[in-house]
Amino acid sequence: MPRIYDSGNDPRDYCKDCYPTEATAERLFGDVSKTGEGPDGRGNCFGYDAEHPDYDDTDYKCVRCGQKLDWQDN
């Protein structure tokens, strides 16, 4: 938690408070007609609860609220 890849294989990182349910995330980001297809014709690259870097060592921010992600969000 808390990274989601949309159907186009673009990562979206969330703090634990803003992280959507899998059903909501799939509806928002898993539709190829909305967010595109993965690179090289790989098809739908939607992924929920995907691997991510240790947020303590990065400057990632929640895409929803803008809060800097930290150890609590790993």
At 4, which helix (H) or strand (E)? Answer: strand 3-5
Domain boundaries, the chain: 3-73
The whole model's pTM is what? Answer: 0.89
Rounded (10°) CA dihedral 56, 62, 68, 73: -40
pLDDT number for residue 1: 63
pLDDT tens digits for range 15-72: 999 999 999 999 999 999 999 999 888 899 999 999 998 998 889 999 999 999 999 9
What is the model's pLDDT at position 20?
96
